[in-house]
A and B are shown apart, each in its own frame.
Chain A
Amino acid sequence: MYKIAVLGDQESVLGFRALGLDVVFAEDSAAAHRELTNLVKEDYTIIYLTEQLAVDLQADINKYKDSITPAIILIPGKGGSLGLGKANLKSAVERAVGADIL
């Protein structure tokens, strides 16, 4: 059985509970770091993380980038998109091609 979690501030992620996903609240980056580590330890396959929290968690995110699980996917929080998801896409292309070709 594989599990999906959503990590973010309460207002951004509460709605996901209605879909039956596991929702974890974190209001600041220290809490987010703690919760993320917990989620990884509990073998969650997909972790959706709001961009607002992801700003300070780049180190953690990069750590799991090259392993198959967990997949940490950034989603915009209630404050809107910070463009981090797109930036990640760009950095992946740069890493593979050696130049930004998009």
Chain B
Amino acid sequence: MASVTVNPTRMELTRLKGRLKTARRGYKLLKDKRDELMKQFLDIVRRNRELRAKVEDGLMQAHASFTVASAVMSSEMLEQALLYPKQSVELGMGFKNIMSVNVPVYSFKTANADLGDIFPYGFAQTSGELDDAVEALSGVFQDMLELAQVEKTMQLLAEDIEKTRRRVNALEYVMIPQMEEKIKYISMKLEENERGNITRLMKVKDMVLQEAHNYQ
């Protein structure tokens, strides 16, 4: 490699060997992290697909009822009927740690537990379709909340997998080969120096002996 510019010294060699060991260890750990994240991620993606289909179906049904209701009732009446909600939702949020990625966990509590008692209007002046719409919405809401959790988790995991993947690749294809190259270069250089040294010593020995005993 052309970019090898290291001092061929023993100290540098020891340092590089240490770094290579660390890099290999980090690479292995990160690879495990990536694989596990990927496994979790695929589960979540599958769950997300199911939930999304369910929520979209439920919402389309609610929209259909709502459209009919708004055709039957005047828009003022409709708005008035829904002006002040009877139901309220309390959202709680915790965190879950998936391979050191913090993902949200939502929990919710409705103020009004009785599902038949959520309509904030009298039945006399509103159409039955509005009841259907509100009921459909309330039915789909639980799934909507889970969808929110799953989708956010998916996005956060995707971001982290991308990061981890880049790190793994950088270690595998750039850092580790470069260090190996450098170590090879240094050890070759050191061996070469060693050989040069031995040859020189032999030559010097020959010269000294010749001078002392006049060997030929």
A interface residues (Cβ-Cβ under 8 A, vs B): 1-4, 11-12, 14-21, 45-46, 48, 65-66, 68-69, 71, 73, 75-78, 80-81, 85-86, 88-89, 92-93, 95-98, 102
Contact = CB atoms under 8 A, between A and B. Distances in A.
Contact of B79 (A14, A21, A96): A14
A3 B93 CA distance: 10
28 contacts: A1-B90, A2-B91, A2-B93, A4-B89, A4-B91, A15-B133, A15-B137, A19-B118, A19-B137, A20-B86, A20-B87, A45-B91, A48-B144, A66-B156, A71-B148, A71-B149, A71-B152, A73-B147, A73-B148, A73-B151, A76-B60, A86-B49, A89-B45, A89-B48, A89-B52, A95-B158, A95-B161, A96-B165
A63 to B, nearest CB: 12
B78 interface: yes
A75 B55 contact: yes
A46 B141 CA distance: 13
Given A19-B138, A66-B159, A89 B154 contact: yes
Nearest to A102: B45
B197 interface: no
Interface of B: 38, 41, 45, 48-49, 52, 55-56, 59-60, 62-63, 66-67, 70, 78-79, 82-83, 85-93, 95, 102-104, 106, 110-111, 118-120, 133-134, 137-138, 141, 144-145, 147-149, 151-152, 154-159, 161-162, 165
